[in-house]
Amino acid sequence: MAVFAFSVAPMTAGESVADQVAEAVRIVRESGLPNRTTSMFTEIEGSWDEVMPVIQRATESVARGGHRVSLVIKADIRPGAPAGQITSKIARVEERLAADETETGHS
pLDDT in single tens digits along all 107 residues of the chain: 999 999 999 887 557 888 889 999 999 999 999 999 999 999 999 999 999 999 999 999 999 877 799 999 999 999 999 999 999 989 999 999 999 888 877 76
Position 90 in a domain: no
Q: 3-class DSSP state for residue 79? A: coil
pLDDT of residue 96: 93
Rounded alpha-carbon distances, angstroms, from residue 97 to 85, 87, 88 = 18, 16, 14
The whole-number pLDDT of residue 105 equals 77
Q: What pLDDT shows up at residue 6? A: 98
Domain count, the chain: 1
Instruction: Tell me what pLDDT residue 104 has.
Output: 79
Kindly state whether residue 92 falls inside one of the protein's structural domains. no
CATH number, domain at 35?
A: 3.30.70.930
Tell me whether residue 46 is exposed, middle or buried, using C-beta atoms within 10 angstroms of its C-beta: 0 to 12, 13 to 18, 19 or more.
buried
Enclosing domain of residue 18: 2-81
